[in-house]
Amino acid sequence: YLYALTLQQATAITHCIYGNFSGPKAQEIIVARGKILELLRLDESGKVQSVLSVEIFGIIRSIVPCRLTGGTKDYIIVGSDSGRIVILEYLATKNLFERVHCETFGKSGCRRIVPGQYLAVDPKGRAVMIGSIEKQKLVYILNRDSAAKLTISSPLEAHKAHTLVYSITGVDVAFENPIFACLEVDYSKVDADTTGEAISQVQKLLTFYELDLGLNHVVRKWSEPTHRKANLLLTVPGGTDGPGGVLICAENYIIFKNQGHPERIAPIPRRKTMLPSQGLLIVSAATHKKQKDLFFFLVQSEFGDIYKVTLTYEEDLVSAVNIKYFDTVPVSASMCVLKTGFLFIASEFGDHILYQFQSIGEEDEDIEMGKSDEEEFVYFQPRGLKNLSVIDKLESLSPIVDFQIKDLFHDDAPQIYTICGRAQRSTLRVLRHGLTISEMAVSKLPRHPTAIWTVKRTAKDLFDKYIVVSLSNGTLVLSIGETVEEVSDADSGFLGSSPTLSVALIGDDALVQIHPNGIRHIRMDKRIHEWKTPGKKSIVKSAVNQRQVVIALSGGELYYFELDLSGQLQEITRKELGHSVTALDLGPIPEGRQRSRFLALGDDDNKVRILSLDPEDNLAVLSLQSVPSVADSLCLVDLKTGVDASQTTLFLNIGLYDGVLLRTVVDPVTGELSDTRRRYLGTRPVKLFKVSVQGSNALLALSSRSWLCYYYQSKFLMTPFSYQTLDFAANFSSEQCPEGIVAIAENTLRVIVTERLGERFNQVELPLRYTPRAFVIHPQTNHLVIAETDHNAYSVTVQAQQQAQASLDNDLNVDQYKLDHVLPRPGPGQWASCVRLLSAVDNSTLDVVELSNNEAALSICTCVFHGHEEVFVVVGTAKDLTLQPRSCNGGYIHVYRIAENGNRLQLLHQTEIDDVPGALCPFQGRLLVGVGHLLRIYDLGKRKLLRKCETKLLPTFIKTIHTQGDRIIISDLCEAFHYVKYKKAENQFYIFADDTTPRYVTASCMLDYDTTAGADKFGNIFICRLPNEVSDEIEEDPTGSKLKLSQGLLNGAPHKLDGIINFHVGETVTGLCKSSLVPGGNQALIYATIMGGIGVLLPFVSREDVDFFSHLEMHMRQERPPICGRDHLAFRSYYFPVKDVIDGDLCEQYSLLDPARQKAIAEELDRTTWEVMKKLEDIRNMVL
């Protein structure tokens, strides 16, 4: 049994919309990431922040915003593969999407004739049309009931048989009957035609469907032929805002059409480098209404060029369509113009970018325009950004082509190395588990610092006033303003001649400094009260909150002080403990109370106690917990524990000397300790600090790595910093940095800020030249060798020549975001390739070998040949490769050695082959090569590789090869796995087992001698195993006679593999790897997807866990069905019934349920709520 868990959700965006989802003036973006719905919001600095992310366990096919007439906020209408139309409302108070309506209309799945592919809403919010690719269109009327809640009608049919739909949009007709425009093709004559001539006469039609609100039905009102290569419709504002009608985006042209209005057509401006025969398509568009009757459109071409489209009109008569080159950005899947002056580009591949408008392009007199009275094309020169500027970037791994896991930096945990992207925007990304940290300031301190605090001057202050640094022989006080300056003892009131143990604001406006010799109470009027320690004793530990102070003296004596009504610190009681105190902390004072009831105390006999501070039983022990090591630090903190922001729980966090963090729940009434959770953080003793994250309490734990424990989107997260080791830290707040951390690292003072909360990995990227296809880590040098190849592209040398001829602007070379296809495309069958050697540790490229002769580098491996100690790099290339149907004029196997101390690739020789080398693998001192459907063994010769053995029995094309001993596992492109035995004595291959199910394999990984994991292009992960008796039979056959005589079964191998695991991920998996992401953790199957997601399948270690999580998953299916109407079990069984895999993503939604439902499920499982939460946290900690 396996536990499936997503480590990083998909980063690709397929759709994006904007609107006021949480309130009247909130400008927000909702993005669809395949099977994830996410709400994004811009913060005050213009950075994009994720507010809510929800897994819908389905595929989002379309999404639109909808606002009812007179409404102040937008609803979200989602078309998915559930066969249902779903209307969602975002509830800001609970931070969740609530399903308002879910109407069933058809079968589930992405089907041709089931609506869901297209959505269009009436601009006044009165109706919505949901359409399929073929035939079916349904219209729903939207309205309000007496309680002002949204209602939806029964569906009204607008079907038309034998019709393909390309685009749907709502037409703005003010408050007349709603009209929807469709781009359609009627193929009925083509179906009936046997000669094949009718297809040349097929017309594309613009059709208007009218919803008659009086008669409550839909009629086909108007239809007219339009451009044969039209692909997109845009709504033109109507009524009092504009002329109405639609814009049709077609190849090379944009056309305005409306019923009873003459057509207006304008050519799209073209790049000067484009060939006359080359078509130009619009791929995405956005509309911006600046104010009443003032609007424009931004449309983007397939090259990334954005055009501004405006209409010249009087009343309802349009006289011209004006198209103007605006700027060039990465090609987008979708784009949004926000009313606050931002443009959000959801890139097709690579990072998503937020731009700010510098101008709206009205001043660019030098840039050509296409107008509707011109028939000839106008041409322009692409340039760097002029009207837009980059404000923020959302990192995206999509598409991940391949990945490997290895610790090349010798950190505590391994790194994930991914090759991703396409063409010029391709990158190698190194992923580390941890939050991205930004340095705001770094400065050296004069002497060795030991601790640091920040303090406000009064309780009403928004920002901190002082930074107090304890040095080995004194205290340094710094004031916080526009600059940080040192403050004298006289100005601050602090004692600078002694080290400090603690500093805090006490009461409303007083400060307290605790030093080894006493307590210094500094009043607002600079009056100072000192309390001195008795005798020669010194203070070793202290704890302070708003009204209480507790100190521990050497020898184990405890003193408790409290603020009286006059603002003076009064000694309340003292107690002789009889053992040394190692850690102290006071709990926060509950609202409306005078004091905190709890004091946490750790001592040197490995015990932690909760003491009472009530006047009736001062310093009495309420509870006790034994710990495995001495407690080095304690922290009592209130943390959110549910969907409701006001629901908090008091936790006692115990940092142990051996690097372990314990987290225990404290009963707010009795002080009893329960539900202890354990996490190993590092090799150093754990120090704990209270900090603030997004206005809520959080915990910072410092060991050999720094960890932040916080609640994010109703989930508890514990994530390390990707930063150097910190020694001491404190919360920091100033005008320039409202929420940060000030810390000591060795002898430096650092102000740092956490970025991208909620993300589990931070990235370091290195740009690549072409699309990466495969890579390998060289075992001797730990360098990466990457095979890069682009189709329909020129090589670097040809590009340089063409750029010189075309005299392109220098701006292109310095633009931060590379412009795709600046030069004309050479056409199909043309390839550009290189082999790159780079150092991931230094983040630098060491050598690049450009491949000539129109070769495409497709496969790579390292190999140690017989009689050679060095590790060679082997690259497989195809010459003049044609993709469909697949063919080539032969290929080559290049053998490189790493020369010049690992800094250069040196070609040893190349060997010509007769088909595409799809897979390479080292095998017993020789090289296994999948050449098309042939499997061959090569050995190293002096001038080329020498062919030693071959089999032609594999069906279509060899995708991957894995070996162990003399067993070879082949994954075929269309026919899943084949197990092959190599008999060295006979120099012959025998295929002895294959899979019963044909699968289109995209990735595979050998788990053990008999077991292999694979993934197919439909998003399924499966594991096959050779039956034990068959495996034994094959191994116990030394002569191979049984293999020779065995008969094929079902037109295949004599034995069949057993399918033991089936699971539908929902995204095409491009990489599989068996590894562990935590030091000493269990190995698991880790996968990466084309959408940029990373997940894990973790094997269970006990039957008890299997039963527990199976029952929890079953309850969650009942209690929390997916919000878009898809059945969870049906989704995970999309193509094959899910087998022996428990969905951890569904189980983790347990924390999002309300407490009553959580308790009911826990009781069904014979557990408490905390025990269920602990189980979920423990299994996640086994992975990360």
Q: Is the predicted pLDDT of residue 278 greater than 90, yes or no?
A: no
Are the C-beta atoms of residues 1132 and 1139 closer than 8 Å to each other? no
Residues 773 and 793: their CA atoms lie apart, in Å, by 15
Are the C-beta atoms of residues 207 and 129 closer than 8 Å to each other? no
Per-residue pLDDT, 1044: 60
In the sheet where 427-433 sits, what is the strand order?
Answer: 400-406, 415-420, 427-433, 761-767
Q: What are phi and psi of 33, to 5 degrees?
A: -115, 65
Per-residue pLDDT, 410: 86
Which of 128-137, 904-913, 989-998, 1084-1093 is predicted least confidently? 989-998
User: What's the chain's Rg over C-alpha atoms?
Assistant: 34
What does the block give as tokens for 364? Answer: 């660019």
Q: What are phi and psi of 425, to 5 degrees?
A: -95, 15
Element (H, E) at 1129: helix 1128-1132
Q: Please, where are the H alpha helices in 530-634? A: none
Crossing angle for the helix pair 1169-1181 and 1103-1119, nearest 10 degrees? 110
What is the average per-residue pLDDT within 469-488?
A: 90
Per-residue pLDDT, 1014: 97
Q: Residue type for 984, please? A: K
CA atoms within 13 A on the CB side of 973: 15
Crossing angle for the helix pair 1155-1164 and 1103-1119, nearest 10 degrees? 140
Residue bearing tokens 């190698």? 428
Per-residue pLDDT, 566: 86
Could you report the per-residue pLDDT of 613-660, keeping only the tens digit for each?
A: 998 888 999 999 999 999 999 999 998 876 565 678 899 999 999 999
pLDDT interval class at 815 (50, 70, 90): very low
Contacts for 217 with CB less than 8 Å, ≥ 6 apart: 156, 211
Q: Is the predicted pLDDT of residue 724 greater than 70, yes or no?
A: yes
Entry pTM = 0.93
User: 743 by DSSP, 3-state: which?
Assistant: strand
Tell me, rounded to whole angstroms, the distance of Cα 921 from its chain centroid: 32
The closest of 722, 711, 716 to 1180, measured between CA atoms, is: 716
Contacts for 130 with CB less than 8 Å, ≥ 6 apart: 62, 79, 85, 105, 115, 116, 118, 119, 137, 138, 140
Could you report the per-residue pLDDT of 215-271, keeping only the tens digit for each?
A: 999 999 999 999 999 999 999 999 888 999 999 999 999 999 999 999 999 999 998
What does the block give as tokens for 726? Answer: 């910190």
What does the block give as tokens for 502? Answer: 């603690």
Per-residue pLDDT, 1045: 53
What does the block give as tokens for 1094? Answer: 């990373």
Could you report the per-residue pLDDT of 295-323, keeping only the tens digit for each?
A: 999 999 999 999 999 999 998 899 999 99
User: 1178 by DSSP, 3-state: which?
Assistant: helix
Element (H, E) at 1173: helix 1169-1181
Tell me, rounded to whole angstroms, the distance of Cα 44 from its chain centroid: 23
Percent of the chain with pLDDT over 70: 96
What is the average per-residue pLDDT within 499-520?
A: 93
How many Cβ atoms are within 10 Å of 842's Cβ, its own excluded?
10
Tell me, rounded to whole angstroms, the distance of Cα 996 from its chain centroid: 35
Element (H, E) at 275: none
Per-residue pLDDT, 413: 86
pLDDT interval class at 368 (50, 70, 90): low
In degrees, rounded to 5, the angle at the alpha carbon of residue 1036 between the alpha carbons of residues 1034 and 1040 is 60
262, with CB counted inside 10 A (0-12, 13-18, 19+), is: exposed
In the sheet where 484-486 sits, what is the strand order?
Answer: 449-455, 466-471, 474-480, 484-486
What does the block give as tokens for 43? Answer: 């913060």
How many Cβ atoms are within 10 Å of 841's Cβ, its own excluded?
12
In the sheet where 261-267 sits, what is the strand order?
Answer: 230-235, 246-250, 253-258, 261-267
Residues 51 and 32: their CA atoms lie apart, in Å, by 14
In degrees, rounded to 5, the angle at the alpha carbon of residue 277 between the alpha carbons of residues 273 and 280 is 70
- CA end-to-end distance (rounded Å), the chain: 19
What is the average per-residue pLDDT within 559-579?
A: 90
Element (H, E) at 1047: none
Q: Is the predicted pLDDT of residue 44 greater than 80, yes or no?
A: yes
Q: What are phi and psi of 378, to 5 degrees?
A: -110, 155
Cα dihedral 13, 17, 20, 21, rounded to 10, equals -50
Per-residue pLDDT, 812: 43
Q: What's the sign of the alpha-carbon dihedral 315, 321, 327, 329?
A: positive
Q: Residue type for 898, please? A: I
- Ramachandran region of residue 45, left (φ > 0), alpha (ψ -120 to 50) or beta? alpha
Element (H, E) at 203: none
**For the chain, how many residues are written?**
1184
